[in-house]
């Protein structure tokens, strides 16, 4: 029997540097379980990935686009092209200045500048401002009405349209109609309404853009040039990074930034991967190790084969995650649109009722201005900013600290969470497996030969268990044979041919299914010690085994305690054996364990727990993809290109489980701020509409249009300031 104790030199950040593939392209959900069944073996080629864009290294705004050229918002289920909001705002301000000089505010002030024909000049400027400045809101309202869901943009469009039409009527009536009492216009209000709403949306877009600012800084980590190596002649040519392609050989000198994702082909070094792991320690790298573009090389010089440029690189996928987050609408945002829809109908109803009552009692000259005032006051300045500013602030705080919120809906789900289901390997443990024991179980093989066969089959995999076996073989200086036809066995492990013989690496559970006899007492003892055990079989004969142990992350115990403090029940879901899972669970204080699970089993358990309450699922982003997608909140924890996983709602750049706790805290504060802002935004309208309609007229009080406008502005300022106060000391 061969016993081993050695330290794996691979950092935890290297546990899963696998190429990603869209979930739709994964037949049978062939993901990983945590033992052998480890379907997480990396047999996915780049050809399986669908790359739709080619990002240059210096495109530092690849996630967010250039907001000064095309800003967008979602309304009515349609992407509304806001156009150049900054330009529209400043042009509208310029057009507003003469309007403010030549008109009165709600009839309460006198124009500062009056000359013959000045009212017609105001009307002309008003027409230009209405068409130019109001265009984004017309587009949004069109989308909402086509979707038969009038909301924010419809309400804004109604307010500025009523103000414009009535003001044009006022100019015509005052200048062309004889014996007509003076009609107050609303050009002052029209101009300021457009200006405030454009400013609000511009501020919102700038705030949202800031969520990607920290990640854009990541893109700047890439060098502008790379040393391309000609494998035939050995000549080195300095080329622009944009000219580097996958499979190119690149030379990286000491102290330089690594230009792209790749695999070391020659040389040894140590790399600072703080951008991936959050820890500024040197990670040893040797032949076949993966490196991430943007990390900093140490004192060694090495050659690497490029495996990730453009859209499939680590940095590009980080950017895409933030971009995706900006295009998601949260449940609270939808609620804000619903509230705006209700206000639209409420304003119409109140306006019509007010018109009828005032027309009957005081005539058209009184009824029309009051009705117009009601419809203008209903314009949702504060409501339109209530949620977006909070989400933008929250997303920005999270992104700067390595919490990438891919789906905003996750923020609102947190307050109702009851269960936290989590994978073991890589989530609660380091994912750095060390071979503690291996041996042959047949007289035809020595222990070393058995380990060599294991290593031959595992040679093409980057799974943590595979890396542990390969490290052990290298440590023992065992020659690794070449394997062919290597393929995953769903839920079992993998298979392949070596020297014409078909071998399989399987789990203990698979041995029982195949009814192969083995020393159960011995292997139960190994498992109870926290080992994951893999078996080698050929022709229905048991040939050998490898027992590997993992280490619990130092932050995991604190993380579990924090979940319990928030009355969230932790549950471990793992493909590993029950004994190993039990040891980890006991150490961390987890009471509920489900072991020997396939990916589909985990997804089924998520559904079962969802019948009892909201479920948070935490996994490594590959083997847990089905359950991450199924859960109310899915968090992928781990570094490297796993950040591109499409099924997770939130991705943690650092493999620190305590960051999950930070996300929960941030989400709860975000939800609280959203609710406060919705009350501020909607509360103003709830009070202002009936007062503007004259509900208190019998006791001699009608809301002054000027006071209504001031209250509206105040509510907008309060909402904006409240959003900016969102701050989480641990994160910001």
Q: What are phi and psi of 173, to 5 degrees?
A: -65, -45
pLDDT higher than threshold 60 for residue 73:
no
* pLDDT top residue among 436 and 597: 436
Q: What is the pLDDT of residue 641?
A: 36
pLDDT higher than threshold 70 for residue 223:
yes
Q: Which residues lie closer than 8 Å to 66 by C-beta, 6 or more apart? A: none
**94 band by pLDDT with thresholds 50, 70 and 90:** very high
Q: Does domain 401-429+552-665 have CATH number 3.40.50.12280?
A: no
**Sole residue written with tokens 């066969």:** 453
Q: What sections of 476-515 are H helices per DSSP?
A: 508-514
Nearest CA to 355 among 6, 700, 693, 732? Answer: 693
pLDDT higher than threshold 60 for residue 481:
yes
* pLDDT top residue among 447 and 529: 447
* Cα 8–chain centre separation: 32
- Find which of 6-20, 184-198, 314-328, 415-429 is predicted with most confidence, using mean pLDDT: 415-429
**334 band by pLDDT with thresholds 50, 70 and 90:** low
Mean pLDDT, the chain, integer: 76
Q: Is there a contact between 542 and 450 (Cβ–Cβ < 8 Å)?
A: no
**47 band by pLDDT with thresholds 50, 70 and 90:** very low
* Burial class of residue 468 (count of CB atoms within 10 Å of its CB; 0-12, 13-18, 19+): buried
Q: What is the pLDDT of residue 5?
A: 42
DSSP label of 22: -
pLDDT higher than threshold 70 for residue 554:
yes
**219 band by pLDDT with thresholds 50, 70 and 90:** low
**351 band by pLDDT with thresholds 50, 70 and 90:** confident
**221 band by pLDDT with thresholds 50, 70 and 90:** low
User: Which of 70-74, 169-173, 368-372 bottoms out in mean pLDDT, i.e. has the lowest?
Assistant: 70-74
For residue 421, what are the β-bridge partners? 571, 617
pLDDT higher than threshold 50 for residue 448:
yes
pLDDT higher than threshold 90 for residue 542:
yes
Q: What is the pLDDT of residue 449?
A: 94
Nearest-5° Cα angle at 193, 719 to 721: 15
Q: What are phi and psi of 273, to 5 degrees?
A: -110, 35
* pLDDT top residue among 361 and 55: 361
**50 band by pLDDT with thresholds 50, 70 and 90:** very low
**544 band by pLDDT with thresholds 50, 70 and 90:** very high
Q: Is there a contact between 452 and 499 (Cβ–Cβ < 8 Å)?
A: no
**Stated length of the chain:** 732
* pLDDT top residue among 354 and 310: 354
**23 band by pLDDT with thresholds 50, 70 and 90:** very low
For residue 78, what are the β-bridge partners? 75
**pLDDT more than 70, % of the chain:** 74
Q: What is the pLDDT of residue 704?
A: 61
Average pLDDT over residues 213-230: 67
**728 band by pLDDT with thresholds 50, 70 and 90:** low
Q: What is the pTM of this model?
A: 0.58
**pLDDT more than 90, % of the chain:** 20
- CA 352/CA 640 separation, integer angstroms: 60
pLDDT higher than threshold 80 for residue 722:
yes
**657 band by pLDDT with thresholds 50, 70 and 90:** confident
String of DSSP letters for 207-242: HHHHTTHHHHHHHTTS-SEEEEE-TTT--EEEEEGG
Q: What is the pLDDT of residue 507?
A: 85
Q: What is the pLDDT of residue 659?
A: 86
- Find which of 20-24, 511-515, 599-603 is predicted with most confidence, using mean pLDDT: 511-515
- Find which of 2-6, 128-132, 688-692 is predicted with most confidence, using mean pLDDT: 128-132
Q: The tokens of 603 are what?
A: 């997804």
User: Which of 315-324, 359-368, 395-404, 447-456 bottoms out in mean pLDDT, i.e. has the lowest?
Assistant: 315-324
Q: What is the pLDDT of residue 731?
A: 52
- Find which of 86-100, 211-225, 380-394, 671-685 is predicted with most confidence, using mean pLDDT: 86-100
* pLDDT top residue among 27 and 613: 613
User: Which of 12-16, 224-228, 422-426 bottoms out in mean pLDDT, i.e. has the lowest?
Assistant: 12-16
Q: What is the pLDDT of residue 612?
A: 95
**198 band by pLDDT with thresholds 50, 70 and 90:** confident
* pLDDT top residue among 238 and 431: 238
Q: What is the pLDDT of residue 486?
A: 85
**Half-sphere exposure at residue 24, Cβ-oriented, CA atoms within 13 angstroms:** 2
What are the distances in angstroms from CA 249 to CA 47, 61, 226, 258, 556?
19, 27, 10, 12, 39
**Half-sphere exposure at residue 143, Cβ-oriented, CA atoms within 13 angstroms:** 18
- Find which of 57-71, 412-426, 441-455, 460-474 is predicted with most confidence, using mean pLDDT: 441-455
**Half-sphere exposure at residue 119, Cβ-oriented, CA atoms within 13 angstroms:** 16
Q: How many CB atoms lie within 10 A of CB 374?
A: 30
**87 band by pLDDT with thresholds 50, 70 and 90:** confident
| Whether 16 is catalytic | no
What are the pLDDT digits (tens) for 283-326?
Answer: 788 898 888 887 888 878 999 999 887 656 666 665 554 455 44
Strand stretches in 314-441, DSSP E: 403-405, 417-422, 434-440
What are the pLDDT digits (tens) for 572-611?
Answer: 988 777 888 888 898 899 999 998 887 678 888 999 999 9
Average pLDDT over residues 367-388: 75
Strand stretches in 78-158, DSSP E: 78-83
- CA 565/CA 562 separation, integer angstroms: 5
Average pLDDT over residues 101-129: 84
pLDDT higher than threshold 60 for residue 17:
no
Residue of 423, 632, 642, 649 marked catalytic: 423
pLDDT higher than threshold 90 for residue 231:
no
Q: What is the pLDDT of residue 81?
A: 45
pLDDT higher than threshold 60 for residue 340:
yes
Q: Does domain 2-18+27-42+435-549 have CATH number 3.90.340.10?
A: no
User: Which of 57-66, 186-195, 526-535, 623-632 bottoms out in mean pLDDT, i.e. has the lowest?
Assistant: 57-66
| Secondary structure percentages of the chain, helix, strand, coil, to 5 | 50, 15, 35
Q: What is the pLDDT of residue 335?
A: 66
């Amino acid at each position: 029997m061969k016993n081993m104790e050695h330290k794996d030199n691979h950092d935890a950040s290297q546990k899963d540097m696998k190429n990603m593939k869209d979930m739709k392209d994964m037949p049978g959900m062939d993901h990983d379980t945590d033992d052998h069944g480890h379907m997480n073996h990396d047999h996915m080629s780049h050809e399986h990935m669908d790359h739709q864009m080619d990002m240059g290294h210096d495109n530092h705004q690849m996630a967010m686009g250039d907001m000064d050229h095309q800003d967008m918002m979602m309304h009515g289920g349609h992407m509304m092209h806001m156009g150049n909001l900054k330009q529209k705002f400043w042009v509208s301000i310029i057009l507003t200045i003469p309007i403010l000089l030549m008109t009165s505010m709600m009839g309460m002030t006198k124009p500062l500048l009056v000359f013959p024909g000045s009212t017609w000049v105001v009307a002309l400027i008003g027409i230009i401002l209405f068409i130019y400045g109001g265009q984004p809101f017309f587009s949004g309202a069109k989308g909402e009405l086509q979707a038969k869901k009038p909301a924010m943009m419809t309400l804004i469009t109604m307010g500025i349209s009523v103000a414009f039409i009535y003001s044009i009527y006022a100019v015509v009536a005052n200048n062309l109609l004889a014996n007509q009492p003076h009609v107050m216009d609303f050009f002052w209000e029209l101009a300021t309404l457009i200006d405030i709403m454009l400013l609000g949306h511009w501020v919102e877009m700038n705030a949202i853009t800031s969520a990607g600012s920290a990640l854009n800084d990541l893109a700047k980590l890439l060098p502008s040039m790379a040393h391309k190596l000609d494998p035939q002649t050995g000549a080195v040519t300095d080329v622009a990074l944009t000219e580097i392609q996958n499979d190119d050989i690149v030379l990286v000198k000491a102290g330089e930034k690594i230009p792209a994702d790749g695999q070391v082909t020659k040389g040894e070094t140590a790399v600072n991967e703080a951008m991936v792991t959050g820890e500024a320690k040197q990670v040893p790298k040797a032949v076949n190790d993966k490196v991430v573009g943007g990390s900093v090389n140490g004192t060694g010089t090495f050659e690497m084969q490029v495996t990730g440029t453009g859209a499939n690189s680590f940095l590009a996928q980080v950017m895409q995650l933030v971009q995706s987050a900006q295009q998601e609408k949260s449940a609270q945002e939808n609620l804000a649109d619903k509230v705006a829809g209700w206000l639209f109908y409420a304003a119409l109803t109140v306006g019509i009722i007010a018109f009828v009552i005032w027309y009957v009692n005081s005539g058209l000259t009184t009824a029309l201005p009051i009705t117009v005032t009601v419809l203008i006051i209903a314009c949702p300045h504060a409501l339109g900013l209530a949620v977006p500013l909070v989400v933008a602030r929250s997303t920005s705080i999270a992104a700067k600290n390595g919490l990438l919120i891919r789906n905003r809906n996750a923020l609102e789900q947190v307050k109702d969470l009851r269960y936290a289901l989590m994978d073991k390997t890589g989530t609660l443990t380091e994912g750095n497996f060390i071979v503690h024991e291996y041996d042959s179980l047949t007289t035809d093989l020595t222990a070393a030969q058995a380990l060599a066969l294991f290593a031959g089959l595992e040679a093409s995999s980057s799974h943590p268990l595979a890396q542990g076996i390969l490290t052990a073989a290298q440590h023992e200086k065992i020659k690794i044979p070449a394997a062919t036809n290597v393929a995953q066995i769903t839920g079992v492990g993998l298979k392949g041919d070596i020297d014409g013989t078909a071998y399989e690496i399987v789990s203990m559970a698979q041995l029982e299914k195949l009814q192969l006899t083995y020393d159960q007492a011995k292997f139960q003892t190994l498992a109870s010690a926290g080992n994951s055990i893999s078996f080698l079989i050929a022709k229905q004969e048991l040939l050998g085994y490898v027992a590997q142990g993992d280490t619990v992350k130092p932050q995991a115990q604190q993380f579990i305690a924090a979940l319990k403090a928030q009355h969230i029940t932790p549950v471990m879901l793992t493909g590993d054996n029950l004994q190993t899972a039990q040891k980890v669970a006991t150490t961390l204080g987890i009471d509920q364990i489900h072991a020997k699970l396939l990916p589909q089993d985990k997804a089924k358990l998520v559904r079962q727990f969802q019948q009892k309450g909201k479920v948070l699922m935490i996994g490594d982003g590959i083997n847990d993809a089905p359950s991450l997608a199924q859960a109310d909140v899915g968090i992928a924890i781990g570094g490297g290109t796993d950040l591109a996983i499409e099924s997770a709602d939130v991705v943690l750049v650092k493999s620190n489980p305590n960051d999950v706790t930070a996300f929960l805290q941030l989400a709860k504060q975000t939800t609280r701020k959203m609710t406060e802002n919705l009350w501020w935004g909607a509360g103003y309208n709830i009070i202002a509409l009936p007062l503007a309609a004259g509900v208190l007229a019998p006791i001699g009080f009608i809301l002054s249009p000027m006071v209504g406008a001031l209250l509206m502005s105040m509510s907008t300022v309060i909402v904006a300031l409240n959003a900016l106060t969102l701050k989480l000391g641990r994160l910001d």
